[in-house]
Every structure is written in C-alpha cells, then in structure tokens.
C-alpha cells in the first residue's frame, strides 16, 4: 500500500482545508493507548462463513455493494450482510458469476427482503454486472481464484482488484456532507497528482483476513500494509478527537450539511488526511508499545 501512504502524505503536506494536528495525535494516542479492543470479525453473527470459496465469493459481493445506506434511514450494513448470507444459505449458486451478470434491482431487493428500491439501486446492479463479467472473464468466475492469484499478498490483491474491477468516481452526499466513492478503483487527481485511496478493495482484504483468521484464503504476509478505510465516518471521528482541524470555509460547509463534490480538494483532503493521520497514530502507538500494530 505504498502508493496509498505516499500519495495521502502528499495531500496532508499540501492541504488547504484540512490540517493533521500533531498535538491532537499525541493526545488521542495517550487517551486510547492500551484501550483498543480486539473485536472478532463476525461478532454479531451477520456474515456467511463456511471456511471455503463460497465465503470468498460472498465477501466480494458484499464489498461490491457496501456503500451508500444513509438515504434510507432503516437500511444498514447489517441488513446487507445478513440478507446476502441468508440468500447464499438458500441457494449456493446465487452469487455465481453468470448470475451476477443478470441481476435486476427487483431481484436484489427480494434477496434482501427489502420492501422498496435501494439507494443507488441502478448503480449497485451495474457494479454486480461488471464484477460478474470480470470474474468470469479473468478468474474462472470465482473470487477465490482472484485471491489465490495474489500469492498471499494483501497489497497485490488490492492492486489486482483496482486494475480489473469497476471504476466509478461519482460521489453522493452522505449524512456528514462528505462523499461515498463507488467502485474498487478509488483514486482522484489532486493538485496535479494522482492520489490512491482504495477504500473498498482494502476492506475486502481485511474482511478475508478477519473471516479466515489469517489462515487459508485470509493468509497474507503483508497484512500490516493495509491502511484504514477512509469513509465519511473516519474524518468526523478524527475531528472530534482533535486529530483533524478544518478551515473555517470547510467547517461552514459541513455544519450547513452542504454537498462536498467527489474529487474536490475538500473531499480528497478529508479522506487522504484521515489515512495519513491514522498512519501517524499507528506509528506513535508502535513506538510506545515497542512493536508494530495494525488496525484489525
């Protein structure tokens, strides 16, 4: 994940709207040191797991659809994860690559037992079609083949996903006025430089590691290279901790719940500075503990 770390550091050092506060990092680390809980991946029992290729397929479909829940106040990630789990338990072929290419919005709603159109339903269906097509074309229809092709490297897995799978840079307003970026090839141009973030591709690698407990399909020799996944929640939490500080103009936009355009300086800075800040927090905790840590 050197690209992610290097390019987000460039943003943090060039930022006009977001500041990573060193004193805030020190204080936050002092407050959380020794208090970071170790949470089991499926502690709520909402995910499918059979310790085999079907779990990998399930996770890839789940992470393909894991975006933009906020417009429907009753819809959550838990609904998606548990709904897909039940669908796979009822039909082991439901997420076969050829089936993914034929999904309709109504079929997805029925799988999830959701009574109304999903937020960005057309985009979700488009992504399923493209994922199914590329899995069939390049990986024999199986996400497990995609994972095995990467030789136990999380960084190579993220890079492979980014090179093969959908690229959509449309942004949509969420409830903290920042933007969700769709697709796995998550990057932006900032002040003439390409910035790599790869939120959901990294989530897939981390989900595999968590689900398989670092064994089998979840065994990666470089899992500590994964960064945090910069969504709209992370900047808000870092701001509350005093780790991030906003310009008065950006603070006004956020307070008034105005849209922050995808790919704008503000949006890129919020996400990139979050990654940079947490890497700095991790480095500091590692120094204090005398060993490397990563966010699992």
Q: Of the listed 96, 122, 231, 283, which one is catalytic?
A: 231
CB of 141 within 8 A of CB of 135?
Answer: yes
**Percentage helix, strand, coil for the chain under 3-state DSSP, each rounded to 5:** 55, 10, 40
- Residue 156: both structure tokens together: 């190579």
- The residues that bridge with 196 in the sheet, in sequence order, are 187
CB of 65 within 8 A of CB of 80?
Answer: yes
CB of 142 within 8 A of CB of 99?
Answer: no
Catalytic site includes residue 283:
no
Give how far Cα 271 sits from Cα of 20, 55, 231, 238, 267, Å: 12, 29, 7, 11, 6
The residue count for the chain: 296
108 closest CA partner among 149, 153, 152, 75? 75
275 closest CA partner among 238, 223, 246? 238
Distance CA 255, CA 253 (A): 6
Return left, alpha or beta for 290; rule: phi > 0 is left, psi -120 to 50 is alpha, else beta: left
Say how many C-beta atoms besides its own lie within 10 A of residue 29's C-beta: 19
258 Cβ contact list (under 8 Å, min separation 6): 177
Active-site residue list: 231
């Amino acid at each position: 994940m050197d690209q992610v770390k290097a390019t987000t550091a460039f943003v943090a050092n060039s930022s006009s709207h977001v500041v990573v506060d060193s004193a805030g990092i020190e204080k936050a680390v002092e407050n959380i040191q020794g208090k970071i809980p170790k949470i089991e991946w499926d502690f709520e029992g909402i995910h499918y797991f059979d310790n085999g290729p079907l779990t990998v397929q399930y996770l890839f479909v789940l992470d393909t659809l894991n975006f933009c829940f906020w417009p429907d106040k009753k819809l959550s990630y838990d609904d998606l994860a548990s709904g897909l789990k039940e669908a796979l338990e009822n039909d082991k072929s439901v997420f076969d690559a050829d089936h993914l290419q034929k999904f309709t919005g109504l079929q997805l709603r029925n799988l999830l037992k959701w009574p109304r159109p999903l937020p960005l339903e057309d985009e979700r269906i488009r992504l399923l079609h493209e994922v199914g097509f590329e899995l069939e074309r390049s990986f024999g229809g199986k996400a497990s083949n995609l994972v095995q092709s990467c030789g136990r490297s999380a960084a190579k897995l993220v890079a492979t996903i980014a090179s093969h799978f959908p690229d959509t840079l449309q942004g949509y307003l969420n409830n903290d006025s920042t933007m969700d970026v769709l697709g796995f090839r998550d990057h932006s141009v900032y002040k003439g430089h390409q910035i790599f973030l790869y939120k959901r591709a990294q989530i897939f690698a981390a989900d595999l590691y968590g689900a398989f407990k670092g064994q089998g399909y979840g065994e990666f020799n470089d899992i500590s290279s994964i960064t945090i996944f910069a969504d709209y929640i992370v900047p808000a939490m870092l701001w509350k901790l005093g780790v991030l500080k906003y310009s008065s103009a950006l603070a006004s936009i956020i307070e008034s719940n105005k849209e922050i355009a995808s790919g704008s300086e503000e949006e890129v800075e919020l996400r990139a500075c979050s990654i940079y800040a947490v890497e700095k927090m991790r480095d500091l905790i590692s120094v204090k503990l005398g060993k490397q840590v990563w966010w699992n």
